[in-house]
Amino acid sequence: MKASIIAIDGPAGAGKSTVAKFVAKRLNYVYIDTGAMYRAVAWAAQDKNISPANEDAMAELTRTLSIQLYYRDGQQRITVDGRDVSEEIRTPDISRIVSAVSAIPAVRNALLDLQRQMARAGGVVMDGRDIGTCVLPNADVKIFLIASIDERARRRCLELQEKGFVTDLEQLKQEIALRDKMDSERELAPLRQADDATLIDTSDMTIEQAVDAIITEHEKRYRP
């Protein structure tokens, strides 16, 4: 049976990565988190004191970086030039600069090639902002996952608190709204629902319900 490709896009905190991981597990597919790749570039820029506003330096940085995704004990890990940054890329500081980094054409083009290579063999669930529209326009199943801004901020707040960060719900809500705006309004591969994507609103759904909804969509759309 030919393995399919599932693309999941949507705004921050909609549940993409959580749900995508479970969908991949159910189908025995590989999960690919493209947001982690943009976060890795943002982390490298911060580490080297390069401002995202300096596009030439950012282009040079991206050209020389080696980003690798791999699995350890069932968990996806990410390295930058051999250093494991899986935890460091999730800090609020990185969240604040990542949208500026991901709007840079040289950064997007470099990661686009890498993402397409990773999906070549099929059997993948890939999540991000432009997977159904730009990275994998021929994906077998396309999902656009959303949730209300209040619910997304609440979820992200809980998650950060569990990791030990002190967070303010209102501030987090504003930061998420700003990131969504930047991601949706950038010129290259903005966040938007593909014409042939199925919209799923997870505001009142449990993780299991969202996973089931995607598996059902996969069964409907995918004819091996």
Residue ranges of the annotated binding site for ATP are 10-18
d(CA 14, CA 208): 14
Rounded to a whole number of angstroms, the minimum distance from the CB of residue 3 to ligand CDP is 21
> Could you say which of 183, 194, 197, 200 contacts ligand CDP (CB under 6 A)?
183
Residue 142 engages ligand CDP in binding (rule: CB under 6 A): no
Stated length of the chain: 224
Q: At 198, give phi and psi (nearest 5°).
A: -95, 130
Give the helix/strand (H/E) hosting 151. helix 149-162
Which residue, 13, 31, 17, 53, is CA-closest to 123?
31
As measured in angstroms, the least distance from the Cβ of 34 to ligand CDP is: 4
In whole angstroms, how close is the CB of 223 to ligand CDP at the nearest point? Answer: 27
Q: Is 16 in the site for ligand CDP (CB under 6 A)?
A: yes
State how far the Cα of 145 lies from the Cα of 211, in Å rounded to an integer: 11
Question: Rule CB under 6 A: is residue 179 a binding residue for ligand CDP?
Answer: yes
CA distance 107 to 61: 9
22 binds ligand CDP (CB under 6 A): no
Which residues are at the interface with ligand CDP (CB under 6 A)? 10, 12-19, 34-35, 38-39, 95, 98-99, 102, 128-131, 155-156, 159, 179, 183, 202, 205-207, 210
